[in-house]
Amino acid sequence: MFPERCLKAQCSVVFHPECPSDSRLVILPPPPGECCGRPGTCHCDQQKCEAFVPICEQGMERVLVKEGGHQPGSCCDVFECRKRELRCESVQCPSHVFDEDEGVDCPADSVRPAEHVPNGLCCPVRPGCRCRAAVCRPAVCDEGKKLRIIRKGTGTPGRCCDEWTCDDDPQPLSKSCIRDGKTYSDGEEWHTSSCEVCRCKKGVAVCSKMTCPKTPPQCSWIVIPDGECCPVCVGCQTEKLEKKRKNETWQKDDCTMCTCSEDGTPICEKHMCRTECENPRKVEGQCCPVCDEPLLLTMPVACPSIEHCPLRCEAGLQRDERGCFQCECVPTNRPEQCPALSTQNCDKQCAHGYAKDAAGCVVCKCAKCPPLHQCMKHCLYGFESNSVGCPVCKCRGERTLPLLTCLPFILPRSFTC
């Protein structure tokens, strides 16, 4: 019967070993003061060895090849049926098989192996009795009892096992535990260190180490708090070896802001700057450079209007000494001496004009680009070109500016009138 305190005990699953065919499983009861059982063990069973003894045919004899031991899996003697050797044919074996125990029956704690012909002999023998390894019951007493050995076993047939009994213990063992000069009652727990906890169990102090959870692998600031056992991630460590707590924010540089995440990883964001001038200046402590001059300036009002200029200049209009546009085309740098085309040296008639060679002279080859006779736009910087290089009726501007004239409106600083 289990004690009443064991009726609600929570025991782990116990897995018993699978014993070889020459042994059997022996399951011991729980030790005194405990409720949960332990895994069983395999013990040799000589009775099972009888099934491994071969029955030899006529003309064959049973020969002992290897004696058995006390280890499960090799408990039994190993026999083989061999053909009788010729030298034994003339041997007359006695009708009475040699008996090591002279016919005495084996005690209850032992067993007799099968008769056999020993290796190197001709006549069979009958072995003596051997102890059964698994017949001895475990020497365990209930709680409050004391084990007493009546007679010590010798391991020989008739005295294979110890004879013992359980007597009432007049002085039962104390259930309290004494550790480092302190007394702890049964079931009480205490800490011997920040990482070790002990529990008094029926007078025995059972101690175990605490198991710590793993810290995040990416955490860069890990400490063990005072009085605690396990390391914890408390924050981040910057590139300058500065310590930052979780959710703390810091300025990495003028343009980068970082925050320490919950798993100890710095998460940084970099500010992107947009520059509106040609020569921005870096200011200490600020992320984005500043422009010393304003981006847009007011054009002077002294330049005359060229709104009614009739010229259509492929390279744009010229400027005067003040920078104002004039109604004059920019020269195209044509060569001064080029052979003229005539009906004598060119027989082609080209609707869009003639092509030019590397020197800029007209050659007897039709141009692919049509002239801009129908374009009525005034372009300060000339016309843009299409994908094949021909000018199109669209003004070309520095930094792609809209149509500009010297009027009182806003222009970039690089332009003057």
* Residue range 266-297, pLDDT digits in tens: 999 888 887 777 788 888 888 888 887 654 44
In the chain, what is the straight-line distance between the N-terminal and C-terminal CA atoms, in Å?
Answer: 115
Instruction: State the pLDDT confidence band at 232, using cuts at 50, 70 and 90.
Output: very high
Q: Considering the chain, tell me which residue range(s) the CATH 2.10.70.10 domain(s) occupy.
A: 177-209
Tokens at 298, concatenated:
């007011």
pLDDT value of position 233:
93
Distance CA 56, CA 90 (A): 20
Instruction: State the pLDDT confidence band at 300, using cuts at 50, 70 and 90.
Output: very low
Q: Is the dihedral of CA 49, 54, 55, 60 positive or negative?
A: negative
The answer, yes or no, to whether residue 344 has pLDDT greater than 80, is no
pLDDT value of position 273:
84
Tokens at 167, concatenated:
């007597």
Mean pLDDT value across the chain: 78
pLDDT value of position 234:
92
258 vs 389, more confident: 258
Question: CA-based angle 183:185:186, to the nearest 5?
Answer: 135
Distance CA 215, CA 212 (A): 9
Instruction: State the pLDDT confidence band at 19, using cuts at 50, 70 and 90.
Output: very high
Phi-psi region of 373 (alpha: psi -120 to 50; beta: other; left: phi over 0): alpha
Q: Tens digit of pLDDT for each residue in 36-45?
A: 888 889 999 8
- Confirm whether pTM is higher than 0.75: no
pLDDT value of position 350:
58
The answer, yes or no, to whether residue 133 has pLDDT greater than 80, is no
32 vs 172, more confident: 32
Instruction: State the pLDDT confidence band at 249, using cuts at 50, 70 and 90.
Output: very high
Which residues have C-beta within 8 Å of that of residue 187, sequence separation ≥ 6?
199, 200, 201
The answer, yes or no, to whether residue 405 has pLDDT greater than 80, is no
The answer, yes or no, to whether residue 260 has pLDDT greater than 90, is yes
DSSP character string of 279-327: S-B--TT-SS-B-SS-SEEEPPS-SPP-TT-----SS-EEE-TTS-EEE
DSSP symbol at 87:
G
**What is residue 6's three-state secondary structure?**
helix
Superfamily of domain 177-209: Complement Module, domain 1 (2.10.70.10)
CA distances in angstroms from 277 to 31, 68, 289, 294, 412, listed in the order given = 89, 100, 10, 8, 10
Instruction: State the pLDDT confidence band at 402, using cuts at 50, 70 and 90.
Output: very low
Torsion angle of the four alpha carbons 192, 194, 196, 197, in this order, in degrees rounded to the nearest 10: 70
Give mean pLDDT, residues 237-244.
Answer: 89
